[in-house]
Structure 1
Amino acid sequence: MAAPKQMDILRFATAGSVDDGKSTLIGRLLYDSKSIFEDQLESVERTSADRGEEYTNLALLTDGLRAEREQGITIDVAYRYFATPRRKFIIADTPGHIQYTRNMVTGASTADLAIILVDARKGILEQSRRHAFLTTLLKVPHLVVAVNKMDLVGYEQGTYESIVDEFTAFASKLDVADLTFIPLSALHGDNVVERSVNMPWYEGPSLLHHLEHVHIASDRNLIDVRFPVQYVIRPHASTDPELHDYRGYAGQVAGGVLKPGDEVVHLPSGLTTTITHIDGPGGPVDEAFAPMSVTLRLADEIDISRGDMIARPNNRPEVAQDLDAMVCWMTPDRQLTPRMKVVLKHTTRTAKAMVKELNYRLDVNTLHRDESAQSLGLNEIGRVSLRVTQPLFVDDYARNRLTGGFILIDEATNNTVAAGMITGAK
């Protein structure tokens, strides 16, 4: 009997301006793909009826916080999961308000695809441009512009095409690898799961069809082997004599493909060895690649600990203490200023760091660089130079999002204050 086919997972985030219909779109995807429980649907139908709404308010499926339901907006990042016979999906429904930009960055940072909703009546707004820029800054490989509420403009082709032209002109200033436009109505389900009969002039796929078929396998870096060590497994207490001498290095593959017999190098020591076994959650595996979590066993006993890196001898990450990076400041309690001290967490390594200088603050609406800026406030983005107290094993964020990304932590409160993307190291 053939083994069941392993379905891949598509992580996608929704973004856009306030009231563009992000939560309703996700609710429609869940509803039309029959991915919600009956009691959930009954609760939403009952709440909609109590409010006197004409239609079942599918946005209630994702707006889980009481404050969101009271205000009718999305505040936090709401994660939802569903599957079709072709693919599994993880959805991050991110906020549209400008004051919650940091939440949008959080949701999009791990996404394979981003859906930016645009209200067909309003066209491209400031927040639409902001979120489009952020998705490209975060190197989200695929971007879908969903022109929503087409029912409110009579499904007019001209309205849709003018939005496509305007967004295409804006996107030409950005680094967009894959851009797709889809006209739809989340409220009525036009072009969400099934092709719409109301827009015969549109010849492309429905949104769900695009999500099921977009190619993501080549988006992952399968060239540069990167394995940050998270934990050293030594089961000394085991009564099994075979496990008594077991020494394994557990972690999540951040890049490349690892196989037993491969020669690897340990950083920071620079010592080379060979992989003898790769253990997965269900037992030995023949190969490991991102984002698999595995345990490596090596031929030689090397002093390896959490925060170290395993790579290829002839393909190593940069070993650096001075970093240039784009940073999104995420806390309202204080501002980023030159000479401030923070804790930097990069893969599995944590070290103290200092902001050497703020090179410029970026206006994400105009893409203007303010080189006179003295600080970064909540939700602001800028380029900074950092000095770290111990070497990190890094790649440019454009090459590897896992080894090129980091967070900054407040030493006093232990709160995450910023997310960063490495643009250079030395």
Structure 2
Amino acid sequence: MDIIDTPTGGLTRPAEPATDAALPPTGTLRFATAGSVDDGKSTLVGRLLHDSKSVLADQLAAVEAVSRQRGRQAPDLALLTDGLRAEREQGITIDVAHRYFATPRRRFILADTPGHVQYTRNMVTGASTADLALVLVDARHGVVEQTRRHLAVAALLCTPQVTLVVNKMDLVGHSEQVFADIAAGFARCARSLGVRGVTAIPVSALDGDNVVRPSDTMGWYAGPTVLEHLETVPSGVDPRTQATRLPVQYVIRPQSGVHRDYRGYAGQLTSGVLRVGDRVTALPAGLNSTITAIDTPAGPAGEARAPQSVTVRLADDIDVSRGDLLAPVAGAPRLTRRLTATVCHLTERPLRPGQRVLLRHTSRTVRAVVESIDSRLDLRDLAEKPGATTLEVNDIGRITVRTAEPLALDGYTELRRTGAFLLIDPEAGDTLTAGMADAPEPEHAEGA
């Protein structure tokens, strides 16, 4: 939903039909929170859980007890999400905390990610499967470099929805102009990164204004509360409507006894639909066959839909191994040994041209080399700067990688699961870099 400037300089939104809290749930929304240190992110999440009555009595009692020990009159709701002892002692979020809650309208999976620069890599993890990114800004400070970094990560991961939450409005006198200026600056950054349709919401997480209940102190704001927005936004692309992809995770080979003739290929259907009778190809070999049976945990089925885990049986005894990809013959991805990608570097060890790595794509791992570092994103002006010789920890950049074996790769903007990959240290086994691949170009394709 686009931000709209009003004649008074404030922000509003297009009119929407009235909602009914008694409506049935509209599926599950996965969302990730992000924000700089001390922006009040944990307090916002705690308030959201508390005011939506998603906190168990014993959890609340424990938070109240700790708050009293610290001399607080009211419960410190940030403690509901800061689960690690180090987090509670330091008053910061370090790990990605996942929370599950529901309202009468929808179910939610929340990934609360850290705000410190050194934990930006954790946001990549938390937001990688999110339908929406909730980016917090302190009303006193506005958009800062870490805000731009979080926005860049959301753009990098093609997060379908981005929502700006301007927190601590009570500390700026609930000023409409302060909110309008921050939202306009955030919208400019979002547009420069290719993010469209940002929704902005002014809140005071400490007081609960516009989190679950509308604020009595910001009458100039006519938009939704945070919870209303989360309950009504689209939940992203339905993977069942996308191109069909089944990465093979395990080959079930013939065994003695009743299963001596059974051979199946097991994995999670990342997107699309498979049906008995479909013609499929096994990549990278390019061998074709027909699906004769689909086995699920509930028994045989005529079809399977993403994200089901299934075992597929084929008419022909072709060579299919772990790491291969089953896809429709008519809509198979292109094979490539050379890929360009946008990446976020995750470790202290710099990434350099010529570096030998392992590349993990779905269930397949191949040897690879970093051919070049093409540019690095400057988070001060959000411009891509060519000529970078390394990528340091938390850097976002563009690279080219050449693999020893062909990969059945999709563009990340088309299919997130089969367009994503990791670069791994071949000796230590550590994850170095998270990558989002471009669609392979025809001149780089193998067997085109």
When normalised by structure 2's length, the TM-score is 0.88
**Residue range with higher mean Cα deviation, 309-318 or 134-143:** 309-318
Q: Partner of 2:7 in structure 1?
A: none
Look up the equivalent residue of 2:106 and give its one-letter code. Answer: R
Residue 325 of structure 2 corresponds to residue 306 of structure 1: no
**Residue range with higher mean Cα deviation, 386-395 or 177-186:** 177-186
Report the CA distance between 1:246 and its aligned residue.
2.7
Residue 188 of structure 2 corresponds to residue 173 of structure 1: no
**Residue range with higher mean Cα deviation, 228-237 or 303-312:** 228-237
From 224, 236, 245, the equivalent of 1:205 is 224
1:238-269 Cα offsets, whole Å, 9 max, x none, are: x5x3x443322211122222222322222223
Look up the equivalent residue of 1:8 and give its one-letter code. Answer: G
- Tell me how far apart the structure 1 counterparts of residues 399 and 131 of structure 2 sit (CA, whole Å): 26
Residue 373 of structure 2 corresponds to residue 358 of structure 1: yes
Report the CA distance between 1:286 and its aligned residue.
4.7
CA spacing shift, 1:261–1:424, aligned 2, 3 Å: closer
User: Alignment RMSD, CA only?
Assistant: 2.0
Residue 388 of structure 2 corresponds to residue 369 of structure 1: no
- Tell me how far apart the structure 1 counterparts of residues 417 and 285 of structure 2 sit (CA, whole Å): 22
From 277, 280, 286, the equivalent of 1:261 is 277
Q: Partner of 2:118 in structure 1?
A: 99
Look up the equivalent residue of 1:273 and give its one-letter code. Answer: S
Q: Partner of 2:88 in structure 1?
A: 69
Residue 103 of structure 2 corresponds to residue 84 of structure 1: yes
CA spacing shift, 1:223–1:191, aligned 2, 3 Å: same
Q: Partner of 1:385 in structure 2?
A: 400
Q: Partner of 1:184 in structure 2?
A: 203
Residue 66 of structure 2 corresponds to residue 47 of structure 1: yes
Q: Partner of 2:6 in structure 1?
A: none
Q: Partner of 2:29 in structure 1?
A: 10
- Tell me how far apart the structure 2 counterparts of residues 184 and 149 of structure 1 sit (CA, whole Å): 7
- Tell me how far apart the structure 1 counterparts of residues 25 and 230 of structure 2 sit (CA, whole Å): 17
Q: Partner of 1:335 in structure 2?
A: 350
Report the CA distance between 1:374 and its aligned residue.
1.2
CA contact (8 A) 2:25 2:105 kept: no
1:38-79 Cα offsets, whole Å, 9 max, x none, are: 221111111111111232111111111222212211112111
Residue 253 of structure 2 corresponds to residue 248 of structure 1: no
From 242, 247, 250, the equivalent of 1:228 is 247
From 401, 423, 426, the equivalent of 2:438 is 423
Q: Partner of 1:411 in structure 2?
A: 426
CA contact (8 A) 2:28 2:235 kept: no
CA spacing shift, 1:220–1:191, aligned 2, 3 Å: farther
Residue-pair matches, total: 418
Residue 422 of structure 2 corresponds to residue 402 of structure 1: no
CA spacing shift, 1:30–1:235, aligned 2, 3 Å: farther
**Residue range with higher mean Cα deviation, 256-265 or 376-385:** 256-265
- Tell me how far apart the structure 1 counterparts of residues 201 and 86 of structure 2 sit (CA, whole Å): 31
The runs of 5 or more residues in structure 1 that have no matched partner are: none
- Tell me how far apart the structure 2 counterparts of residues 164 and 368 of structure 1 sit (CA, whole Å): 21
- Tell me how far apart the structure 1 counterparts of residues 217 and 31 of structure 2 sit (CA, whole Å): 27
Specify the SS of the correspondent of 2:141: coil
CA contact (8 A) 1:76 1:95 kept: yes
**Residue range with higher mean Cα deviation, 213-222 or 408-417:** 213-222
Report the CA distance between 1:424 and its aligned residue.
4.4
Report the CA distance between 1:289 and its aligned residue.
3.1
Instruction: Output aligned runs, 1:122-141, within 5 Å.
Output: 122-141=141-160
CA contact (8 A) 1:221 1:399 kept: no
**Residue range with higher mean Cα deviation, 127-136 or 77-86:** 77-86
Report the CA distance between 1:32 and its aligned residue.
1.6
CA contact (8 A) 2:160 2:236 kept: no
Specify the SS of the correspondent of 2:110: strand
The runs of 5 or more residues in structure 2 that have no matched partner are: 1-23
Q: Partner of 1:296 in structure 2?
A: 312
- Tell me how far apart the structure 1 counterparts of residues 171 and 430 of structure 2 sit (CA, whole Å): 44
**Residue range with higher mean Cα deviation, 163-172 or 334-343:** 163-172
Residue 337 of structure 2 corresponds to residue 321 of structure 1: yes
- Tell me how far apart the structure 2 counterparts of residues 85 and 247 of structure 1 sit (CA, whole Å): 44
CA spacing shift, 1:51–1:235, aligned 2, 3 Å: farther
1:350-378 Cα offsets, whole Å, 9 max, x none, are: 01111111112221332233322211111
1:162-194 Cα offsets, whole Å, 9 max, x none, are: 222221222221211432111122112222222
Look up the equivalent residue of 2:74 and give its one-letter code. Answer: Y
- Tell me how far apart the structure 2 counterparts of residues 45 and 322 of structure 1 sit (CA, whole Å): 56
CA spacing shift, 1:320–1:67, aligned 2, 3 Å: same
**Residue range with higher mean Cα deviation, 174-183 or 216-225:** 216-225
- Tell me how far apart the structure 1 counterparts of residues 209 and 47 of structure 2 sit (CA, whole Å): 10
CA spacing shift, 1:66–1:180, aligned 2, 3 Å: same
Look up the equivalent residue of 1:313 and give its one-letter code. Answer: V
Look up the equivalent residue of 2:186 and give its one-letter code. Answer: F
Report the CA distance between 1:235 and its aligned residue.
6.5
CA contact (8 A) 2:30 2:235 kept: no
- Tell me how far apart the structure 2 counterparts of residues 217 and 105 of structure 1 sit (CA, whole Å): 18
CA contact (8 A) 1:141 1:219 kept: no
Q: Partner of 2:12 in structure 1?
A: none
Look up the equivalent residue of 2:217 and give its one-letter code. Answer: N
- Tell me how far apart the structure 1 counterparts of residues 330 and 68 of structure 2 sit (CA, whole Å): 64
Percent sequence identity is 55
Report the CA distance between 1:201 and its aligned residue.
2.5
When normalised by structure 1's length, the TM-score is 0.93
Specify the SS of the correspondent of 2:222: coil
Look up the equivalent residue of 1:38 and give its one-letter code. Answer: A
